[in-house]
Amino acid sequence: MKITLLFLLLSVMPAKKQLTIWMIGDSTMSVKAPDKSPETGWGMALAGFFREDVRIENRAMNGRSTLSFINENRWQPIVDHLQKGDYVLIQFGHNDEKVDKNGVGVSLTAYKANLAKFITEARRRKAIPVLLTSIARRHFVNGVLQDTHKGYPDAMRALADSMQVPLIDLEKKSMQLLTALGDEGSVRLFLHVPPGHEHYPEGVKDNTHLSPEGANAIAKLAVEGMRAQIPGLTKYLR
């Protein structure tokens, strides 16, 4: 009788909702095709920091800005599937700053408006938006790391403050990391491949996109930010 009663109770109890973390952004975050290996988006490494019962939906796409992500109808299907308590990690800027590229680049004002759209629509669905500034490019001049993002991280910081959105300052964190490693020491975090590689026969020296080690390092910085800014997520971390 007791076993039957327990079975009946379990059968009518609602299933515990799985936490879903949605990721929208550009190529520094996105999932890479196998033929692009060893290029790795930091979003690919993020799952390793969370418990297995957390679902990571990485919808970031190469070459996308806030504008093209919206115009290509990549955002609305996410909105349609957002559930109460979901998190939405938002990292754009690398391509928004390309104002001479039609359909991609946007002004700082439009950039903030598009970010505000993501925030407002996520909140409308009772999801929790989180802003992340763009990661630093590896661009040293005379041993000094340069800021290449043309004010877009500052615009995101201002918006996070005005809309009271959690902000993980990946630009600041990654600049600190690259500066500590130095010009030569930071090479290993990026897509530097010698000639003869099966996917890059002529080799490549890419100081924007990440190696597996770099993706893991940036994901670790993101998780550090989550611990500091988003206490609700800490219980889901390994």
Q: Choosing from 52, 184, 198, 202, which is the catalytic residue?
A: 202
**Tokens 């095709």 identify what position?**
33
Distance, CA of 19 to CA of 14 (rounded, Å): 15
- Which residues does 107 contact at the CB level (< 8 Å), separation at least 6? 99
The torsion defined by the Cα of 44, 66, 84 and 169, in degrees rounded to 10, comes to 60
Distance, CA of 31 to CA of 33 (rounded, Å): 7
Q: Choosing from 27, 30, 65, 68, which is the catalytic residue?
A: 27
On the CB side of 150, CA atoms within 13 Å amount to 12
CB under 8 Å, gap of 24 or more: what pairs does 175-183 form?
Answer: 175/136, 175/145, 175/147, 177/217, 177/221, 178/136, 178/138, 178/145, 179/145, 182/143, 183/140, 183/143
Does 52 participate in catalysis according to the annotation? no
Does 27 participate in catalysis according to the annotation? yes
Q: Quote the tokens at residue 209.
A: 């996109």
Q: What are the C-alpha distances in Å from 196 to residues 33, 200, 201?
A: 19, 7, 5
Q: How far is CA 37 from the centre of its chain?
A: 19
Distance, CA of 170 to CA of 215 (rounded, Å): 12
Does 209 participate in catalysis according to the annotation? yes
Q: Choosing from 11, 209, 211, 213, which is the catalytic residue?
A: 209
Q: Quote the tokens at residue 205.
A: 């020296």
Task: Enumerate the active-site residues.
Answer: 27, 202, 209
